[in-house]
């Protein structure tokens, strides 16, 4: 039986070489009653699903300033970002956002509401940023940060920001400051055009 490709785009998932259940080399095909390429074990029948990874973080505010961290790791080493990172098993998005803020900035925060939900399908990720109130100007950046600092809106280092999700979250925040209304923003970041 030949399966037709769907009329919408599914990026190829990350590949896994061996079955985590029996150790047999995996093959890639569309299992029965499915519509996507999967890593499948022809020995034990296990289907190894690949799902998007969640990135969780905060947009932390101290008085009228925004807290940014300068990355000490790749990708985007030495660029500025909001405190964020991959969500861990066993934690909520809110718990992960608070943990990442502590690890990257050493900042004490009061977590606010969810602010941006950003689909990044080409990177196989979804980014969640919460608003947060910083409770003290004392910062203790961890090993993943070269520095952490507060920036007034006019001093944000736009050309030195690490990721488009950070840029768009900050753009939404500054626009919402004008109205005083901070709704949840849900959108996607398309694949960047080739250079």
pLDDT reported for residue 170: 98
C-alpha torsion angle, residues 101, 107, 109, 112 (rounded to 10): -40
Give the span between the Cα atoms of 193 and 170, in whole angstroms. 22
- Where in the chain are the domains? 12-50, 53-188
Which two structure tokens, joined as six digits, stand for 65?
């300033």
pLDDT reported for residue 14: 61
pLDDT reported for residue 16: 79
Mean pLDDT, the chain, as a whole number?
Answer: 91
- Answer yes or no: same fold for 12-50 and 53-188: no
Q: What is the pLDDT of residues 79-115, one digit of tens each?
A: 999 999 999 999 999 999 999 999 999 999 999 999 9
Give pTM, 2 decimals.
0.84
Give the span between the Cα atoms of 77 and 162, in whole angstroms. 8
Q: What is the pLDDT of residues 123-171, one digit of tens each?
A: 999 999 999 999 999 999 999 999 999 999 999 999 999 999 999 999 9
pLDDT reported for residue 36: 87
Q: What residues have CB less than 8 Å from 86, skipping those under 6 apart? A: 53, 54, 55, 56, 96
Give the CATH number of domain 12-50: 2.20.70.10
Give the span between the Cα atoms of 117 and 70, in whole angstroms. 22
pLDDT reported for residue 6: 33
pLDDT reported for residue 10: 43
CATH 3.90.79.10 fits 53-188, yes or no: yes
Give the span between the Cα atoms of 138 and 135, in whole angstroms. 9
């Amino acid at each position: 039986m030949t399966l037709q490709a769907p009329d919408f785009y599914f990026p190829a998932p990350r590949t896994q070489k061996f079955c985590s259940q029996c150790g047999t080399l995996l093959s890639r095909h569309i299992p029965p009653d499915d519509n996507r390429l999967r890593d499948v074990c022809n020995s034990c029948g296990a289907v190894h699903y690949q799902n998007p990874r969640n990135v969780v973080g905060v947009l932390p505010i101290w008085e009228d300033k925004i807290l940014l961290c300068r990355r000490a790791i790749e990708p985007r080493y030495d660029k500025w970002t909001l405190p964020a990172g991959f969500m861990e098993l066993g934690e909520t998005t809110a718990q992960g956002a608070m943990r990442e803020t502590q690890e990257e900035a050493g900042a004490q925060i009061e977590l606010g509401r969810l602010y941006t939900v950003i689909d990044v399908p080409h990177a196989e990720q979804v980014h969640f940023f919460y608003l947060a109130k910083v409770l003290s100007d004392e910062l203790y950046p961890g090993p993943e940060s070269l520095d952490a600092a507060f920036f007034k809106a006019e001093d944000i280092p736009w050309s030195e920001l690490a990721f488009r999700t950070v840029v768009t979250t900050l753009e939404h925040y500054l626009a919402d400051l004008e109205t005083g209304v901070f709704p949840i923003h849900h959108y996607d970041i398309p694949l960047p055009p080739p250079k």
